[in-house]
Amino acid sequence: MSVQVISNEANDADLPSVSITMLGAGQEVGRSCCVIKHRGKTVVCDVGLHPANNGLSALPFIDELDWSEVDAILVTHFHVDHAAGLPYVMERTNFKEGKGKVYMTHPTKAIFRLTMQDAVRIGDNSNDPGDRLYTEEDLNNAWQNIIPVDYHQDIVISGGLRFTPYHAGHVLGAAMFMIQIAGLNILYTGDYSREEDRHLVSAEVPPIRPDVMICESTFGVHTLPPRSEKEEQFTTLVANIVKRGGRCLMPISAFGNVQELLLILDEYWDAHPELHNIPVLYASGLAFRGMQVYRTYIHTMNDHIKTRFSRNRNDNPFAFKYVRNLKDFRKWQDDGPCVMMATPQMLQGAHSRELLEKWAPDRKNGLIVTGYSIEGTMAKNLLKQPEDFIGMNGQKIQRRMTVDEISFSAHVDFAQNSSFIKQVNPQHIVLVHGEASVMGRLRLALQSQYADSDVKIHTPRNCEPLTLTFNSERVIKVIGSLATKHPKPTQPLAGLLVQKDYSYTLLDPKDLKDFTGLGTTEIKQRQSLRVGVSWEVIRWHLEGMYGEVEEDVEDDKAVFRIMQAVTIIHTSDQELTLEWVSSVSNDMIADSTLALLCGIDSNYATIKLTSKACDHGHEQETHAPAHPHPHSLAAKRKAPSDEKPGPIKADPAVLTDIQLLRTFLLAHFGNVSELVTEELEGKEEELLLLRVEVDQHEATIDLMTMVVTCKNPALRKRIVSVLQMAQTTISSLSSSFRSTTYTLENPAKPAATESDKDASAQDHKDPASLGIESTVKTEA
């Protein structure tokens, strides 16, 4: 179980906002380039070229960005409008000076190289070599630095920045990216399709809800016919053109929907023997070379292809039976009806344009536009059914051939797009990759769908940054043993807060290693010292200092454990070893233990305890202390306040304290006796007094108030001094922590005379050095 703690504390500096800037494909189709900036991270999605433009004018507005600051460039698919600007950015800008990395899927990387090599060779659709944006060498250098990734792989780029590619349909290798920057999720769809065709899987709905979805809008509010209808329309049209003796021209790009068309036509020809004498050709060496990539990446395609291939390993769907590659375009004999697929797709030049100009005047021939035609290209112009058009050499050419458009460009239509957006369920929708008017209509349609929700729809123009701000809600995940009990609203949760890449986790320190992989170090301290007293004497002193002492045997050696922190091992007769795990409090306890042990030998009480048998009933001959160390008298005694003292006679601990005190006094004054209450007339309260007699002088000590009464001031002073020393010695450390300190009503200690100074008085340890305040109440 994990518990989430959500903090709503707003901190202005912390308010997360993301900036999205389109350097291309903002209210247009072509030269896709989207810059996402958040919390000091910069991610660029796609670097395309505009197919209608040449040279530098085909590039996105790359000068608007410092490319050395880019952390990652993610390329969705190999199409020119998404990937063809990449070698320029990688090799001809300051991108190389930074630490940025470039990612695309494996099939995209494989096809990208082929298409780019072709583009370099034919000169970026331009006849002017000066228009070339990069050389083959640039391309090779760039290509080697592209990191290929797999679908569903979680790729961590740097602290707080990661992404996962998901299937986008559209073309082989196409991916949409779920990008996570400092906890903010952004989905960049690239071009995507939701229809499962003959070889591609359809786009997946990512498992997490993004905060922002940057979504293509190519077809706007357009509705495409169902696939079966479209296929039938297509094959019928192709068959009609060749049956009337015409040549059927289909301008294609080397990769993408052409592979799909080839699959459809091969299947159709197989089923129609009457067409077997009519050749189906594709005039693209690039498409031919690329077919190997398609044969290789069958595992990334849909079940239709995968099952066909798994049934028969020799039946690779991309090894066609009827469709042939036209190897040498120049040697080809154009002598009758045929189906010809030729590049480029938008009739900008080369084979498709050459054939168009040759075949356009004959009304038996037919042109079928199957891909998406970008504004400003010949393909787009011809769809307007012009009477004539201008040839590559500037001549006017009659257009009598039929012109039809059956789009196999794998983009979503309105119904698919809006239902996908609904499933993805983002907070912000950013529409890109659509003509301004088309996008505008889509925006209106979506706005009416989301009228009752707080979903925002944006259509940024190129170079106009869109800034989105989010609630500064911070989530802290409580995990491990801390999360086993469900917290109650008023109950505070305490634990160790671990921050990693803008995500917060609260856990019990002992779970740190298991849940975070963070290591903890334990320093074990060990110190040995020689002591000349018995184990029992040591116990007596320890109990005096700490109250209770746990006694145990470890590895056949007697041990004491002090406050569950320090272990004292009776290593040998004369030697003790202290062991403790280092920490602020444990070190303090160890220090006090060491101080105590080092002073034991010279402590007066030790001398008394070990050299002289007690004179009040204990007959032990050993060096064992006559009295087990009780909790101190101080602890048992109530603070001298206005409270009445309670009966104390019955408390054995207090009685032992009194005996200890008596021992002290005996050692100093020789004659000490106890007075019972009955001896004092008129006293109703139960009192405990000790009488000290020295050379006919008599003094009484009230053990409740520690008031010394004596007619001889010198003796009184001396007794007070001894009492102070005794008090310090017998009051235990732990009880001192528990009990309140005494109030010193008369802070002036009786000045000690020369004669007062004896060995024991000098031995008196200053209790303040142990962090204890303990004073004896005196009365002048």
- Interface residues with Zn ion (CB under 5 A) are 79, 81, 191
Strand partners for 569: 559, 577
User: How far is the first Cα of the chain from the last one, in angstroms, to the nearest whole number?
Assistant: 68
Coil/strand/helix, residue 304: helix
Q: Which of 77, 167, 411, 433 is catalytic?
A: 411
Shorter beta-carbon distance to Zn ion: residue 91 or 191 = 191
Token pair of 50 as six digits: 């505009």
Q: In angstroms, give the least distance from the CB of 22 to Zn ion.
A: 13
Contact call for residues 214 and 192 (beta carbons, < 8 A) = no
Q: What is the DSSP string of 319-382?
A: S-SSEEE-S-GGG----S-EEEEES-TT--SHHHHHHHHHHTT-TT-EEEE-SPPPTTSHHHHH
Shorter beta-carbon distance to Zn ion: residue 255 or 268 = 255
Token pair of 99 as six digits: 């630490």
C-alpha 610/C-alpha 778 separation (Å) is 31
What's the 3-state SS for 71-98? CEEECCCCCHHHHCCHHHHHHHCHHHHC
Collect contacts of 263-268 with beta carbons under 8 A, ≥24 apart: 263/198, 263/199, 263/317, 263/318, 264/198, 264/231, 264/234, 264/235, 265/235, 265/238, 265/322, 265/323, 265/339, 266/320, 266/321, 266/322, 266/323, 268/235, 268/238, 268/239
Shorter beta-carbon distance to Zn ion: residue 430 or 559 = 430
- Taken as a whole, the chain contains a residue count of 780
Q: In angstroms, give the least distance from the CB of 108 to Zn ion.
A: 11
Tell me, rounded to whole angstroms, the distance of Cα 413 from its chain centroid. Answer: 36
Q: In angstroms, give the least distance from the CB of 218 to Zn ion.
A: 7
Shorter beta-carbon distance to Zn ion: residue 191 or 357 = 191
Contact call for residues 74 and 104 (beta carbons, < 8 A) = yes
Sign of CA dihedral 265, 409, 299, 198: negative
Shorter beta-carbon distance to Zn ion: residue 104 or 280 = 104
Shorter beta-carbon distance to Zn ion: residue 30 or 100 = 30
Contact call for residues 25 and 32 (beta carbons, < 8 A) = yes
C-alpha 674/C-alpha 666 separation (Å) is 12
Q: In angstroms, give the least distance from the CB of 170 to Zn ion.
A: 6
Q: In angstroms, give the least distance from the CB of 241 to Zn ion.
A: 27
Q: In angstroms, give the least distance from the CB of 266 to Zn ion.
A: 23
C-alpha 509/C-alpha 42 separation (Å) is 35
Shorter beta-carbon distance to Zn ion: residue 171 or 576 = 171
Shorter beta-carbon distance to Zn ion: residue 191 or 413 = 191
Contact call for residues 543 and 535 (beta carbons, < 8 A) = no
Shorter beta-carbon distance to Zn ion: residue 189 or 656 = 189
Token pair of 694 as six digits: 């020295």
Q: Are strands 707-710 and 575-581 parallel, antiparallel or unpaired?
A: unpaired
Q: In angstroms, give the least distance from the CB of 236 to Zn ion.
A: 27
Burial 188-218 (b: 16+ CB within 10 A, else e): bbbbbbbbebbbbbbbbebeeebbbbbbbbb
Using alpha carbons only, give the angle 343, 347, 351 rounded to the nearest 5 degrees: 45
Sequence-ordered list of residues with C-beta below 8 angstroms from that of 394, at least 6 positions apart, any chain: none
Q: In angstroms, give the least distance from the CB of 220 to Zn ion.
A: 14
Shorter beta-carbon distance to Zn ion: residue 71 or 191 = 191
Nearest CA-CA partner of 72 in 84, 58, 86: 86
Q: In angstroms, give the least distance from the CB of 82 to Zn ion.
A: 5
Sign of CA dihedral 132, 133, 135, 139: negative
Judge whether 623 counts as a catalytic residue: no
Q: In angstroms, give the least distance from the CB of 330 to Zn ion.
A: 31
Shorter beta-carbon distance to Zn ion: residue 235 or 407 = 407
Whether residue 344 is preceded by a cis peptide bond, meaning omega within 30 degrees of 0, is: yes
How many Cα atoms are found within 13 Å in the side-chain-facing hemisphere of 523? 6
Sequence-ordered list of residues with C-beta below 8 angstroms from that of 515, at least 6 positions apart, any chain: 479, 480, 505, 507
Sign of CA dihedral 39, 40, 46, 49: positive
Shorter beta-carbon distance to Zn ion: residue 118 or 191 = 191
The residue ranges of DSSP E strands in 91-236, in sequence order, are: 101-105, 146-149, 155-158, 161-167, 175-181, 184-188, 212-216
Tell me, rounded to whole angstroms, the distance of Cα 290 from its chain centroid. Answer: 39
Strand partners for 552: 559
- Give the H/E segment covering residue 527: strand 524-530
What's the 3-state SS for 604-644? HHHHHHHHCCCCCCCCCCCCCCCCCCCCCHHHHCCCCCCCC
DSSP 8-state symbol, 313: T
Q: In angstroms, give the least distance from the CB of 112 to Zn ion.
A: 12
Q: In angstroms, give the least distance from the CB of 165 to Zn ion.
A: 15
Shorter beta-carbon distance to Zn ion: residue 294 or 546 = 294
Q: In angstroms, give the least distance from the CB of 173 to Zn ion.
A: 11
Catalytic residues: 411
